[in-house]
Amino acid sequence: MSTRGGQQGQHGAEEQADEPPRRKRKSRKGEEKPLVAPAPPPPADTRAQRVLYVGCEGESTEPDYLNYLNERFGDGSLTGGRRFRIQPVFAKNGMTPARAVAKVQEKAEEDEAWALFDRDQHHDIPEALELAAETGTEVCFSHPSFDLWLLLHFQAFGGKRSGSSKDVVDALRQADPAFKNFDKRNDKSVKDGRREALKKKESAAVRHARSMVDQCEHSARCKVKSTRKDRYQWVGAPERPDPLIPHSGHAADCPVLDRDPSTDVWRLLVSLEIVDA
């Protein structure tokens, strides 16, 4: 029952109280009984839900994975009641990193904006990073590809690499039977059995990703230890209105394009409190 409806009912009760008492009529068999107002609906769930728009360079793997996070963790049952909804932003045949950043900022408007993109052979990554900094978009950069993040669910992966994703994909195919045919016949989806294979391995993936930062050979100051809080205030914010957004851990003088292998996707999971920092 709405508030307005409740107020009208109270006024009606007051008017009846001022009228003189009336004699009660005896009920007659078959007489139509007065209608009874239906019970008010149960109150809607008012718990806050964090909304994130995430721009994806790819059209399949990244959106599938983000939808997996929605499905498994979005209702808050595994994150201490803190609910979230990720809205993947992607395009057919993919987008360049700079386009992914621009598009997600356009879609997110005042909501939280993130972007996922890979090294691959892209030439606009510096532009994408600059645009992200200007618009307050958080970046999860993977070198050589997002596939590395999937692999880290099953094993560590380090050492200087060639910049090609072939080693990553080969290792992923051997890591679990569900991924045996990954990237064959254009199948880079993350659905069904592949989602099952990833379950309960999020902490291992974050640990493996963070260890690669500590092993970075481009700067002795690359360490995963500092965190910061960005002020993302959403409607009905819960007890923690300022979600934790951890730094990538890489030093300012560490060249982004040379971080091979590395991935910052762990920052998203820590921020969503899927995994503790």
Q: Tokens for 188?
A: 């880079």
Global pTM exceeds 0.75? yes
3-state secondary structure of 177: helix
CA atoms within 13 A of residue 5's CA, in its CB half-sphere: 7
pLDDT digits (tens, 9 = 90+) for 67-103: 999 999 999 999 888 899 999 999 999 999 999 999 9
Q: Among residues of the chain, what percentage have pLDDT more than 90?
A: 57
CA-angle at 248, arms to 246 and 250, nearest 5°: 140
Exposure of 238 in the CB half-sphere (CA atoms within 13 A) = 16
- As a whole number of angstroms, the distance between CA 100 and CA 96 comes to 6
Assess whether pLDDT exceeds 90 at residue 246: no
Cis peptide leading into residue 177 (ω within 30°) = no
Q: Output the pLDDT for position 220.
A: 79
Model pLDDT for residues 126-142, shown as the tens digit of each residue? 999 999 999 999 999 99
Q: Is the predicted pLDDT of residue 276 greater than 90, yes or no?
A: no
Q: How confident is the model at residue 243 (pLDDT cuts 50, 70, 90)?
A: low
- Per-residue pLDDT of 196-241, as tens digits, reads 999 999 999 999 999 998 888 878 788 876 455 444 445 555 444 4
